[in-house]
């Protein structure tokens, strides 16, 4: 499969879904059509394990379909907020980004048309096409994008920046007052992508958890 074999991808994505909140799972379930088949199966298994169901959204035929990233009044709007991870300048670079994000089970949107796949992009790659993802998947996208090697990048070297880190939040109370405890080896995750996990403690509610998030200073 390029980066990970099917078994390793299943284990990694399943572990990721076990570490996120019920609300984040439901938010991803509403966007499940943009996930890979393995990610969809892992998501369905975790939803079933927690006995979660996607609540119906109240809408009428006159109500337009929500635009990805735009506020809807839902408590999950912050998780669905779109953040840009890169700009691609050719179809081959766009396909490379698509493969990387698909391998991690992260939905993405390309261009102003918010295409969920390269085939749906109608914008001109010569002018640069923005790639965005939901904020909930940012920490994992930041890791896999380290393996992105564009062939047609037209961004001047002096203007290139590393993807900024976003605040780590407690999956239980959503507080950003979290403390990094230690790195924990995880044999279920391929070393090429993430050989360790991060152990956190929330100062606000005392919740402890492990994930593949970003190491931050506190």
Q: Are residues 153 and 138 in the same domain?
A: yes
Same domain as 193, residue 110: no
101 and 206 together in one domain: no
d(CA 134, CA 20): 14
CATH (domain of 203): 2.20.25
User: Is residue 54 in some structural domain?
Assistant: yes
Same domain for 98 and 162:
yes
Residues 94, 160: one domain? yes
Q: Are residues 113 and 194 in the same domain?
A: no
pLDDT at position 161 over 60: no
Give residue-wise pLDDT tens across range 107-142.
899 999 999 999 999 999 999 999 999 887 888 888
- Mean per-residue pLDDT over the chain, rounded: 76
Cα separation, 2 vs 79, in Å, equals 28
User: What are phi and psi for residue 161, nearest 5 degrees?
Assistant: -135, 150
Q: Assign 183 a pLDDT band (cuts: 50, 70, 90).
A: very low
- For residue 96, is it within any domain? yes
124 plus 67 within the same structural domain: yes
**Of 2, 71, 67, nearest to 38 (Cα)?**
2
Residue 156 lies in a domain: yes
Tell whether 194 and 160 lie within a shared domain.
no
- Which of 76, 57, 125 has its CA nearest to residue 97? 125
Is 55 part of any domain?
Answer: yes
In a domain, 153, yes or no: yes
Q: Are residues 126 and 189 in the same domain?
A: no
Alpha-carbon distance of 200 to 56, in angstroms, equals 34
Q: How far apart are CA 195 and CA 186, in angstroms?
A: 6
Instruction: Report if residue 209 sits inside a domain.
Output: yes
Domain boundaries, position 57 = 6-166
Q: Rounded mean pLDDT of 206-217?
A: 57
Q: What is the mean pLDDT of residues 190-198?
A: 42
In a domain, 213, yes or no: yes
If asked whether residues 95 and 82 sit together in one domain, one would say yes
pLDDT tens, position by position, 22-39: 988 898 888 888 888 888
Gap between the Cα atoms of 85 and 129, Å rounded: 11
Q: Which of 124, 149, 166 finishes a domain? A: 166
**DSSP tag of 115:** B
Q: Is 37 exposed, middle or buried (0-12, 13-18, 19+ CB in 10 A)?
A: exposed
Number of domains in the chain: 2
Domain membership flag for residue 1 = no
Question: What would the pLDDT profile of 60-101 be if each residue is shown by its tens digit?
Answer: 455 555 566 666 666 666 667 888 999 999 999 999 999 999
Alpha-carbon distance of 200 to 178, in angstroms, equals 7
Note every long-range contact of 187-196, with CB atoms under 8 Å and residues 24 or more positions apart, other chains counting: 188/11, 188/12, 188/15, 189/8, 189/11, 189/12, 189/15, 190/3, 190/4, 190/8, 190/12, 192/3, 192/4, 193/3, 193/4, 193/12, 193/143, 193/144, 194/12, 194/143
Q: Do 197 and 136 belong together in one domain?
A: no
């Amino acid at each position: 499969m390029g980066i990970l074999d099917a078994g390793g991808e299943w284990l990694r994505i399943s572990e990721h879904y076990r570490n996120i909140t019920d609300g984040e799972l439901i938010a991803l379930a509403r966007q499940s059509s943009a996930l890979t088949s393995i990610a969809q199966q892992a998501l369905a298994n975790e939803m079933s394990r927690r006995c979660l169901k996607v609540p119906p959204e109240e809408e009428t035929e006159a109500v337009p379909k929500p635009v990805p990233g735009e506020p809807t009044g839902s408590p999950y709007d912050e998780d669905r907020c779109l953040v840009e991870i890169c700009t691609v300048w050719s179809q081959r670079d766009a396909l490379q980004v698509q493969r990387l994000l698909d391998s991690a089970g992260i939905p993405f949107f390309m261009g102003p048309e918010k295409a969920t796949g390269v085939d749906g992009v109608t914008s001109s790659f010569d002018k640069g096409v923005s790639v965005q993802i939901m904020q909930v998947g940012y920490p994992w996208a930041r890791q896999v994008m380290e393996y992105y090697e564009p062939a047609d990048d037209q961004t001047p070297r002096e203007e290139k920046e590393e993807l900024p880190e976003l605040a780590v939040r407690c999956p239980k109370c959503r507080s950003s007052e979290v403390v990094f405890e230690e790195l924990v080896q995880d044999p279920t995750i391929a070393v090429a992508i993430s050989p360790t996990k991060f152990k956190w403690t929330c100062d606000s509610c005392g919740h402890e958890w492990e994930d593949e998030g970003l190491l931050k200073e506190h």
